[in-house]
A and B are shown apart, each in its own frame.
Chain A
């Protein structure tokens, strides 16, 4: 007898994702997002080249201020700047790419979502962008929770620092779990923003632990790379600042894999619940 049936469900979902990983087509939306991330990273770090400066300099100033146009300040500010640019990518591009990926995963899992045309993507784009904007807003709010703890206490006490990090991450995973099915509701069932949020919470409620595990594992996988990029102070005195660029590259690759795993698992769990309902 399986004492943790919900864990078995999560593993079943991931197994399905791993099987689909061999299909090149499913990777395309994720690769498109990573490609844009790499392009913007290159634009930021190479803004000083004569060919890039007309676009790169305003972008660097917008993301990091005038201070970021200096070396090595640019690289020390890179994780913050990339975080900011990634928010824009998440809202405008990754949201839509996630919709396309959900459709491709659904098809791969034997569901017929109907034709995958440009019209359908354009129709789904506004609610996808809207819901992602809301989610990103709340997630930013969650990261600001850390500022409620007195700064001196955080700086002086390692236990408090780690407790704070883990708490923020737990809230982060919980909220993401509740919002995990919004994309599927929008692209597969044609929901609007509010309906997708409401029904996503319902599905999560009924599939709570598998969803939590499906969302939590990619977050745990991403943690080392995001932690490393957030601690540039550790890099600053020991290694060349260019290492920070490499850390961001690793972060993009990890993000690609984690998002693939997350979107696939969530789509499979969603379809499973849909089948059960029928």
Chain B
């Protein structure tokens, strides 16, 4: 008896020692991950002169952390079974994905997701995050059934939390998204079962009292389900009741103005008279002057006014967005772009031109501003003014080159370079455009985006310049860069085909 008790205590001690050792391993894993994050921060602040190499080295470092602490075949023998340690390893892989994503290296991103799905499927939070991300990739690829299936695996695993970062914050929208995806290609355009499942899911979460954001958001989504099923009265009823409850609450889970905004959205979708939606949106601005979505409301009011043929009213709303919400550059620059386009469409080109120029001055690093020089050139082209078109294209080229030099921040610089290629092609400066495409393609080598740019360069050489030799050279380079990928084999085949054409 005594010996048994001693043995049991000894077993307990050994077991606790094993667990304690895992805490030590987890600590070391966290330390390595933190140090890699630290390096990532340093590279972000002060990018090296070696292009993307330092980022690729860092991504490899994250993967090495996962190899050591998380992979079943890794050297972190003791850490193999501990969920906490493996969660840290999974976080390292997510960081590697983030870097590869920033490098637009979708091949690496998909490979690492595959690895996460295989090695970490026993960790619900990790598995759900991977399924969500792979679902989004599948959706972008157009594989809607696979996307819906992947999303479905998330819904059952993770309880939703509105406003939370990460997977818990995204899961609430998924049942509706699944229903929408399954509806595409379904008989009659509506996947009734999927919508019924989504409705049941939201009804279960909604309850009667609006006490927290999940309940509140579930009811908004219930209204969206009703909207998708064209049950407009039901959708309106849900939202109106929700708005009343939020207005009555001392500390509402969501601003009631957002629900009023959703009501206007349902009215528009239902095909109601634009006056009805206008009345709702105007009442929103009057009842909730400090509403957080005021900029979006004004943009929708502008669209609504245009639908009603009230040009000046629409311009007024857009002007208000640009003036009253200048601290929200995305909204304000979009408003200015919309204002310029609206003026151009209504034959008020001098005013439109002024707005396009203002846009580049006021919000130089916005996506809307990137479009402005091209829009100006396209206007002259449509008007058949060849000299003005040429001048505008030259100006656009200068603007883009200056922007690329001044703001070398990755995403904006790439977007500007893509616009530059368009401008160069319109000027028939194909050599420069191809050089730009190949420069970007080389910089993004190993990524699907890089491959697409190389192929675009080859196509331009063949179709626009009629230079088969150059097209073959570019395709050969693509084959070298993507020797182990399908696109490399395709480039090789195309190069051979072109060689054959030349021989004939």
B17 in contact (CB, < 8 A):
yes
Interface check A219, CB cutoff 8 A: no
Which stretch from A23-31, A42-50, A128-136, A141-149 is at the chain B interface?
A: A42-50
On whether the beta carbons of A48 and B23 are closer than 8 Å, the reply is: yes
User: Which residues on A sit within 8 Å (CB–CB) of B24?
Assistant: 47-50, 53, 57
* Across-interface contacts of B31 in A (CB, < 8 A): 71-72
Central interface residue in B21, B27, B35, B38, by most chain A CB within 10 Å? B27
Q: Is A151 an interface residue (CB 8 A)?
A: no
Per-residue CB contact flags for chain A residues 159-175 toward chain B (1 = under 8 Å, else 0) read 00000000000000000
- C-alpha spacing A57/B20, complex, angstroms: 7
Asked if A48 contacts B28 (CB within 8 A), the reply is yes
Interface string of B3-26 (1 = CB under 8 A from A): 000000000000001001101111
- Contact between B21 and A50, CB atoms less than 8 A apart: yes
- By a CB distance below 8 angstroms, the chain A residues around B17 are 53-54
Decide yes or no whether A277 CB sits under 8 A from chain B. Answer: no
Q: What's the Cα separation between A53 and B26 when bound, in Å?
A: 12
CA distance A72 to B27 in the complex (A): 9
Q: How far is the CA of A50 from the CA of B28 in the complex (A)?
A: 11
B23 and A53 contacting across the interface, CB-CB below 8 Å: yes
Say whether chain A's binding surface is mostly helix, strand, loop, or mixed: loop
List chain B residues, Cβ under 8 A from A54.
17, 20
- Tell me the complex Cα distance, A57–B17, Å: 10
Give the residue of B21, B27, B38 whose beta carbon is less than 8 angstroms from that of A70. B27
Partner of A53 from the list B20, B35, B38 (CB cut-off 8 Å) is B20
Interface residue? A69 (CB, 8 A):
yes
B residues in contact with A262, CB < 8 Å: none
Smallest CB-CB separation from B17: which chain A residue? A54
Q: What separation, in Å, do the CA atoms of A74 and B27 have in the docked complex? A: 9
Contacts of B258 in A (CB 8 A): none
Asked if A3 CB lies within 8 Å of chain B CBs, one says no
Point out the residues of chain A lying under 8 angstroms from B407, CB to CB.
none
Using Cβ atoms and an 8 Å threshold, which residues of chain B touch A48? 23-25, 27-28
B414 within 8 A of A: no
Closest Cβ of chain B to A232, distance in Å, is 15
What's the Cα separation between A49 and B17 when bound, in Å?
12
Report whether B27 and A71 are in contact in the complex, using a CB–CB cutoff of 8 Å: yes
Which single residue of chain A is at the shortest CB-CB distance from B28?
A48
Residues of A within 8 A of B21 (CB): 50, 53
Q: Name A69's contact: one of B27, B34, B35, B38 (CB within 8 Å).
A: B27
Q: How many Å lie between the Cα of A241 and that of B24 in the bound state?
A: 18
- Residue B67 lies at the interface, judged by CB distance under 8 Å to chain A: no
Asked if B30 is at the interface (CB within 8 A of a chain A CB), the reply is yes
For window 25-49 of chain B, which residues contact chain A by CB distance below 8 Å?
Answer: 25-28, 30-31, 34-35, 38
What distance in Å separates the Cβ of B157 from its nearest Cβ neighbour in chain A? 25
Given the known A-B contacts A48-B28, A54-B17, are A72 and B23 also in contact in the complex, defined by CB atoms under 8 Å?
Answer: no
CB within 8 Å of B: which A60-79 residues:
69-72, 74
Cβ–Cβ < 8 Å partners of A74 in chain B: 27
A240 within 8 A of B: yes
Minimum CB distance partner of A47 in chain B: B24
With a cutoff of 8 Å between Cβ atoms, the chain A residues found around residue B20 in the complex are 53-54, 57
A74 to B26, CA, bound (A): 13
Contacts between chains A and B (CB distance < 8 A), count = 38
Query: With A48-B23, A53-B20, A57-B20 in contact, do A72 and B34 touch (Cβ < 8 Å)?
Result: yes
B34 touches A71 (CB 8 A): yes
Chain B residues with CB under 8 Å of A69's CB are 23, 26-27
Least distance between B203 CB and chain A CB atoms (Å) = 38
| CB-CB nearest in chain B for A237 | B41
Residues of B within 8 A of A50 (CB): 21, 24
A225 to chain B, nearest CB (A): 25
Interface centre among A47, A71, A72, A240 (most CB of B within 10 A): A71
* Chain A residues whose CB sits within 8 angstroms of the CB of B38 once the complex forms: 240
User: Residues of B contacting A72 with CB < 8 Å?
Assistant: 30-31, 34
Rounded to whole angstroms, the CA-CA distance of A241 and B37 in the bound complex is: 13
Q: Which residue of B lies closest to A61 (CB)?
A: B23
Looking at B17, B21, B24, B26, the one whose CB has the most chain A CB atoms below 10 A away is B24
* A240 surroundings in chain B (CB, below 8 A): 35, 38
Q: Kindly provide the distance from the CB of B409 to the nearest chain A CB, expressed in whole angstroms.
A: 22
Docked CA distance A69–B84 (Å): 12
Inter-chain CA distance A47–B26, complex, in Å, is 12
Is B23 a contact partner of A71 (Cβ separation < 8 A)?
A: no
Q: How far is the CA of A126 from the CA of B175 in the complex (A)?
A: 70
C-alpha spacing A57/B25, complex, angstroms? 12
A66 to B, closest residue via Cβ: B23
- Bound CA span A50–B25, Å: 9
Could you say which residues of chain B place their CB within 8 Å of the CB of A57? 20, 23-24
Residue among A48, A69, A72, A241 with most chain B CB within 10 A = A48
Q: How far is the CB of A106 from chain B (nearest CB, A)?
A: 47
- List chain B residues, Cβ under 8 A from A71: 27-28, 30-31, 34
Query: How distant is B83 from chain A, measured CB to nearest CB, in Å?
Result: 15
Across the interface, which residues of A come within 8 angstroms of B23, CB to CB? 48, 53, 57, 69
CA–CA, A240 and B37, complex, Å: 11
Q: Which residues of B contact A241 (CB under 8 A)?
A: 34
The answer for the CA separation of A116 and B24 in the assembled complex, in Å, is: 44
In the complex, how many angstroms separate the beta carbon of B201 from the nearest chain A beta carbon? 35
Q: Closest residue to B41 on the A side, CB-wise?
A: A237
Proximity string of chain B (107-119) to chain A, C-beta cutoff 8 Å, 1 when within and 0 when not: 0000000000000
Collect the chain A residues with CB atoms within 8 Å of residue B35's CB: 240
| B412-431 interface bits toward A, Cβ cutoff 8 Å, 1 = contact, 0 = none | 00000000000000000000
- Assembled-state Cα–Cα distance A69/B34 (Å): 14
A70 to B38, CA, bound (A): 16
- In angstroms, Cα B23 to Cα A47, docked, is 10
Chain A residue nearest to B24 in the complex (CB): A48
In chain B, what residue has the closest Cβ to A49?
Answer: B24
How many angstroms from the CA of A72 to the CA of B34 in the assembled complex?
8
Compute how far the CA of A69 lies from the CA of B28 in the bound complex, rounded to whole angstroms.
10
Q: Can you name the residue of chain B whose Cβ is closest to the Cβ of A56?
A: B24
The distance in angstroms between the C-alpha atoms of A71 and B26, with both chains bound, is: 9
**A-B interface, 9 closest residue pairs, ranked by CB to CB distance from nearest:** A48-B24, A71-B30, A48-B27, A71-B31, A53-B24, A53-B20, A57-B20, A71-B27, A69-B23
Other A-B pairs beyond A57-B20, A71-B34, 4, CB < 8 Å: A48-B27, A57-B23, A71-B28, A72-B34
Give 25 CB contacts A-B under 8 Å: A47-B27, A48-B23, A48-B25, A48-B27, A49-B24, A50-B21, A50-B24, A53-B17, A53-B21, A53-B24, A54-B20, A57-B20, A57-B24, A69-B26, A69-B27, A70-B26, A70-B27, A70-B30, A71-B27, A71-B28, A71-B30, A71-B31, A71-B34, A72-B30, A240-B38
Q: Which residues of B does A touch, CB under 8 Å?
A: 17, 20-21, 23-28, 30-31, 34-35, 38
Which A positions have Cβ atoms within 8 angstroms of B?
Answer: 47-50, 53-54, 57, 69-72, 74, 240-241
